[in-house]
Amino acid sequence: MLNLYNTLTRQKEPFRPMEPGKVRMYVCGMTVYDYCHLGHARVLVVFDMVYRYLLAQGYEVTYVRNITDIDDKIIRRAAENGEAIDALTGRFIQAMHEDADALGVLRPTHEPRATQHVHDILHMIQRLMDRGYAYVGENGDVYYSVSRFDGYGRLSGRRLEDLRAGERVAPDESKRDPLDFVLWKAAKPGEPAWDSPWGPGRPGWHIECSAMSTHYLGNHFDLHGGGQDLQFPHHENEIAQSEAATCEHFVNYWMHNGFVRVDEEKMSKSLGNFFTVRQVLEHYRPEEIRYFILGSHYRSPLNYNDQALEAARSALSRLYTALRGLEPAHPGDAGAPWRDRFNAAMDDDFNTPEALSVLFDLAREVNRLRQTDPQEAAPLAGCLKALGGILGLLQADPEGFFQQDGTGDAVDAAEIEALIQQRLEARQRRDFTEADRIRDDLKARGILLEDGPEGTTWRRG
RNA sequence: GGCUGGGUGGCAGAGUGGUGAUGCAGCGGCCUGCAAAGCCGUGUACAUGGGUUCGAUUCCCGUCCCAGCCUCCA
């Protein structure tokens, strides 16, 4: 049985979906005005892992991950670029899809965009107005009145008075309470706008997630995820909006993934210490990034540096090495002990590091058996590949993985094969000086030769 | 200032009230023409001071240190 840490209760709880066999989950996606950085990659990969595991457990999952395609930063960036807003967002949505695809992230069931749901947003704001939770400020913006909502602060463990005492709450004349947040932003001249009962404007950020999650998943659903920094205020505000508008409990389980760090510091745009996915992909294979992300527990901080990515590369190489030269067979019962351990680890709040350690134990067993009994090794290799697949790993052809050009500096495969042949001939006439020269030359070019029982194989190292 | 998390062996990173993580690196051995890969073996690790306990890295309290949220942020 799956247990997961629920931010709402600050403890691990057994996961019981509202409808047996079906899970409805919503994850806050990105605001598309720039390329994905590793922080975004972590959200994508972590919740993809959750999605895959739920699917593997036999659940029918409706997975919604939104795209914020209208907000201040987008408007500003478009203006800076002299680019139309939809051109800008279209460009970065495509880039995000490319990055997500590269990282092996499955497409969610629905990927709604805020601009396509303005109708739902207006409808929800109207309900909040009707129920007295919203008001129009002096500047024409529509605000949510935080003090009207009893449970405000529950998710993030704060009390209103503590928040008001915080030194960083900026007073705003048009708000009744500095903690109130905007539902509808009145348009300034030249800004994109939609008509509304409160004048032309655009949605505030928080309301879109309430409106879209409700639209696709109903008023009350199972699982809501996102980065830790969304816990407050974004998710707190979502709860306030949705529960005030629908009079129903909003979400049963809240999950938040930890940050990616650089030099023990949060990776963020404002600090300028971020690495985009495509920057990292210039030096590392996508699967190495995915392994790097899953090598830490999703709630822990994840420190980014080259050594960490190198370590991911080594670890992944070991797993693929175990798969090498074997035709993965249907595991049957042979893999049961490892499958059980794997599932136990995943059931414990998605403990991917522990689950990976099971994969290494399994890889050792495969390596041990392949020498003595390849018949038995094949089903275990099948198990290894299948369990890896639940994490979105190990699905490539092993030789392809070792030989693919992950790090630039292409050496022609045909040339390598020719040199291997030359070396083989040298070895046959016991000219080891020549044989070693060929091997050393290739090594200098990043190609490692390995003599096995079935001949010489090569890989990029 | 308020509120959250966390400090594990050379590094990364799980976990546990009393033998095992796992990966990388190291050391010894097997295999190999030599390597590589693989296999076998190999580590007085749990910030610090108290307390609870037959026994604590694991529970409780204090201290120090780190990160995060309280403003846009994944």
pLDDT tens, position by position, A37-46: 999 999 999 9
Q: Three-class SS of residue A327?
A: coil
Amino acid at A34: D
Return the pLDDT at A461.
78
Instruction: Please tell me the distance from the alpha carbon of residue A5 to that of residue A15, in angstroms, as a whole number.
Output: 9
Percent of chain A with pLDDT over 90: 87
- For chain A residues 249-268, those near strand B by a CB cutoff of 7 A are 257-261, 264-268
Q: Strand B nucleotides below 7 A of a protein CB?
A: 1-5, 11-15, 20-25, 32-40, 66-74
Closest nucleotide to A303, Cα to C1' = B12
Q: Three-class SS of residue A272?
A: coil
Instruction: Please tell me the distance from the alpha carbon of residue A449 to that of residue A452, in angstroms, as a whole number.
Output: 10
Mean pLDDT of A147-173: 82
pLDDT band at A165 (very low <50, low <70, confident <90, very high): confident
Return the pLDDT at A438.
96
pLDDT of A167 strictly over 80: no
Return the pLDDT at A172.
73
pLDDT of A416 strictly over 90: yes
pLDDT of A460 strictly over 80: yes
Determine whether A360 is exposed, middle or buried from the number of CB atoms within 10 Å of its CB (0-12, 13-18, 19+).
middle
Instruction: Please tell me the distance from the alpha carbon of residue A40 to that of residue A259, in angstroms, as a whole number.
Output: 10
Per-residue model confidence as pLDDT tens digits over A119-133: 999 999 999 999 999
Place of tokens 């092993």: A398
Per-residue model confidence as pLDDT tens digits over A253-283: 999 999 999 988 999 988 889 999 999 999 9
Per-residue model confidence as pLDDT tens digits over A83-97: 999 999 999 999 999
HSE (side-chain half, CA atoms, 13 Å) at A64 = 24
Residue A447 CA and nucleotide B36 C1' are separated, in Å, by 11
Q: Is the CB of A451 under 7 A from strand B?
A: yes
Give A48's DSSP letter.
Answer: H
pLDDT band at A372 (very low <50, low <70, confident <90, very high): confident
Which helix (H) or strand (E) is A90 found in, with range? Answer: helix A85-102
Return the pLDDT at A413.
87
Residue A413 CA and nucleotide B6 C1' are separated, in Å, by 48
pLDDT of A405 strictly over 70: no
Q: Is the CB of A434 under 7 A from strand B?
A: no
What is the spatial order of strands in the sheet that A134-136 belongs to? A134-136, A142-144, A181-186, A201-203
- Of A296, A297, A251, A346, nearest in space to A50 by CA: A346
| Overall size of chain A counted in residues | 461
Q: Across chain A, what does the average pLDDT equal?
A: 94
Structure tokens at A98: 């490319």
- Of A95, A75, A93, nearest in space to A85 by CA: A75
Place of tokens 């949510």: A144
Structure tokens at A386: 């299948």
Q: Is the CB of A181 under 7 A from strand B?
A: yes
Residue A59 backbone class (left: φ over 0; alpha: ψ -120 to 50; beta: rest) = beta
